[in-house]
Amino acid sequence: MRFQKLTIKKYEKVFEMYKRHRKLRNNSAIRNLVKDVYIEKSDLIYPIFIEEGENIKNEISSMPGIFRYSIDRINEELEELVKLGINSILLFGIPKHKDEYATESYNENGIIQKAIRYIKKKYPNFLIIGDVCCCEYTNHGHCGILDEKGYVKNDETLEVLAKIALSYAKAGADIIAPSDMMDGRVEKISRILAENNFSNIPIMSYSVKYSSSFYGPFRDAADSAPKFGDRKSYQMDFRYVGDAMSEVRSDLEQGADMVIVKPALAYLDILSKVKETFDVPVIAYSVSGEYSMVKAAAINGWINEKNIVMEQMYAFKRAGANAVITYFAKNIARYLDEEISVINI
């Protein structure tokens, strides 16, 4: 009798050694029931390139499916976004005139200022985010004003950035997003907005923006590649983790309401760390290089584009992103619609 009890106890011990985790993976209904990461269309922010001129719709060769539009044709893009249920857009401008002081960037009749007014009049429900930087507007391609040695002058550049932010606010932008990486830009922008009765406009700061090789296709799209040197003296070094936390802390102290981590895919550790450390909305920017790599592989038949895009999107959300700036926004919206259709069947 004693031997039998010992055997039973031994059997019970073996039985309890492992858990059958696979039971919750048996079928799609169960997997959908227990998942704890969600994607909604309201999570998506779609970047749009707007070029000065008329009757322009030019595909960007390094970003298949992404176009530059003139204002008179931007409705083609906006109508599609409305149908897909995408509400948030991030605007980048390509002006005809560029100079060393980026004067077109804050022109009241500049390309982005006119685009904001047009969109707000025709499509008032869009949430418009204005990217604040000089690189698209300088003839040298750097993100600020240069000294005689080609170094970007921080404080002089702040004056230009403040003017850009104010001009976007006056045009009707809903959110101001400085991406230049100058020290003190958030404080400067916060102050000028407050002084002009725009203190209620949120600032979505590119607090964590690395000097990255993932930006190549964007520089084709925005015609913003530096004519000499690189941007390592103001964009962040990806080998220095502590710098990210310091940048975010400074921007929040200066008045930032949301922060962006850019790029996203290779920096999920930073994204997660920022989210865990600071109680603010964190936006992941899935950049042009991330888009183009997936597109190139999909075009060659090497990967399943839909599966890869959605896996990446869930990774951004799982790491802590409240929203994602992505060139795949329209694709993702369609994928989400397909999922709903399957469930309804």
DSSP labels for 226-260? -SSS-STTTSBPTT-HHHHHHHHHHHHHHT-SEEE
Structure token pair of residue 124: 């008032």
The catalytic residue among 209, 273, 275, 295 is 209
Are the CB atoms for 132 and 161 separated by under 8 Å?
A: yes
- Reference 122, options 68, 59, 77; nearest CA is 77
**Known catalytic residue at 41:** no
Question: CB-based contacts of 12: which residues, under 8 Å, 6+ apart?
Answer: none
Cα distances from 147 to residues 100, 142, 150, 253, in angstroms, run 10, 12, 5, 29
d(CA 74, CA 57) in angstroms, rounded, equals 9
Point out the catalytic residue in the list 163, 262, 273, 317.
262
For residue 151, the 8-state DSSP code is: P
Cis peptide before 263 (omega within 30 of 0): yes
Q: CA dihedral in degrees (173, 176, 179, 185; nearest 10)?
A: 140
| Sequence-separated (6 or more) residues with CB below 8 Å from residue 329 | 44, 45, 46, 86
Rounded to the nearest angstrom, the gap between the alpha carbon of residue 39 and the centroid of all alpha carbons in its chain is 15
Helix (H) or strand (E) holding 332: helix 329-344
> Per-residue DSSP letters for 177-222?
EE-S--TTHHHHHHHHHHHTT-TTS-BEEEEEEB--GGGHHHHHHT
Phi, psi of 194 (to 5 degrees): -65, -40
Residue 19 known to be catalytic: no
Active-site residue list: 209, 262
